[in-house]
Amino acid sequence: MTARTELRSWVESANGHSEFSLANLPLGIFSRDGGQPRGGVAVGDCIFDLSVACEAGLFEGQAAEAAKAASASSLNAFFDLGAPARQALRQALQNLLAENGERREQLQRMGESLLQPMDRCRMHLPARVGDYTDFYVGIHHANNVGKLFRPDNPLLPNYKYVPIGYHGRASTVDVSGATVRRPNGQTLPAGASEPSFGPSKRLDYELELGIWIGQGNARGESIPIGEAGGHVAGFCLLNDWSARDLQAWEYQPLGPFLSKSFATSVSPWVVMPEALEPFRCAQPARPEGDPQPLPYLYDEKDQQQGALDIELEVLLLTQAMRDKGLPAQRITLSSTRNMYWTVAQMVAHHSVNGCSLQPGDLFGSGTLSGERDDSCGSLLEITQGGKRALELPGGETRTFLEDGDEIILKARCRREGYPPIGFGECRGRILPAAS
């Protein structure tokens, strides 16, 4: 695997950029000045407008087909083209944007018609989400939450045999920056014999990796574990907002419902699998005594290269901090290395019963907490179910989120000899419940 630190661009802001250098080039959907949403590529502090590039004839062959699909108002058609087209577009973009590219002068003359200033653009949901599935592969989160409710038996027997998940609500997946209204619902207060109705008092975030599905499978057919990685189109950040008091009352016997379906936030940029190749690693060894995955979930190459080393961060900005001009406070630092199951295992399991996946389907990894107190991926864990308040600057405390609070997710990949890769931000601010 060759380092690409030498890959410089004539787009000056891309050189040494902490997130969007030529080593990354994530795709997203943007608009400017109320115009039509369309596909673009993040490069430095700019967005490379794929529609303008296609009209100018900047791409050829398979790359041209991919660029046309990616220039639409959603990335579904691009996802459906699969890895060869995606890789052709990525290579063509790197050639066009390279410091000594043959078309440098032509592209520079195109100015802002081709390279839109990112801070003047609005980002949209990258794809139409047909189906959304939330998994539960964060082993430390599962242990932490299990201990709150079952101290003597935190993990149920199936956890280490099957990637647990549930089907979420696709209609309420929204892009970073969209506000989140506190949900109303039924709760059973402590000591009460009957539920009451009203705004959730225990609103929480969940730190997750989002996985965008590319080419799907025919209904009735499964995706073999050895091919599952090829069905992933890209990655993002995902916040699975959770109303813990609604969840505690409703989840038995069928699992999450209204406590999860009111909002899910995703970051706007889709980081392609190729950008993450230098940050692949071996899946952490299972503790002694844990069962080996069943054959349909086991592939030796996936075990050696199927995990990802992505640093994950959560910041909290309250209204009082905002009013005082204080910066957001980091409350979580974790990693995707805390996944008990790989992404390929999630894809293989989801399809093993013949369920058809489709381009634009979205997976959430489940909350990716670490082993340390400062690596917990939810307030439920940080505050031990609300028993231990989180202290914030200015004397504020939190057990769960209050109106005006804003959660900011970030992620980055770093490895010596390689340019860093960033995901952008996944933001959401809490609004009061509807009256």
The per-residue pLDDT for range 186-245, each reduced to its tens digit, is: 999 989 999 999 999 999 999 999 999 999 999 999 999 999 999 999 999 999 999 999
pTM above 0.95, yes or no: yes
pLDDT for 128-170, tens place per residue?
Answer: 999 999 999 999 999 999 998 888 888 989 999 999 999 999 9
* Predicted pLDDT at 75: 98
Does the pLDDT at position 413 exceed 50? yes
Percent of the chain with pLDDT over 70: 99
Domain span(s) for CATH 2.30.30.230 in the chain: 12-123
* Predicted pLDDT at 154: 87
Task: Provide mean pLDDT across the span 320-344.
Answer: 97
Q: Which two tokens stand for residue 108?
A: 């520079």
Residue 252 CB-density burial (10 A; 0-12 exposed, 13-18 middle, 19+ buried): exposed
Confidence of residue 5 (pLDDT cuts 50, 70, 90): low
Would you state the CATH architecture of domain 12-123?
Answer: Roll (2.30)
Active site (catalytic) residues: 141
Q: Is 422 left (phi over 0), alpha (psi -120 to 50) or beta?
A: beta
* Predicted pLDDT at 6: 61
Closest CA to 9 of 39, 53, 46: 46
Confidence of residue 336 (pLDDT cuts 50, 70, 90): very high
Q: Yes or no: is domain 132-431 CATH 3.90.850.10?
A: yes
DSSP structural state of residue 66: H
* Predicted pLDDT at 1: 42
Q: What is the mean pLDDT of the chain?
A: 96
Helix pair 61-70, 83-97: axis angle to 10 deg: 100
pLDDT for 15-26, tens place per residue?
Answer: 999 999 999 999
Residue 182 CB neighbours (<10 A): 20
- Rounded CA-CA distance 266/125 in Å is 8
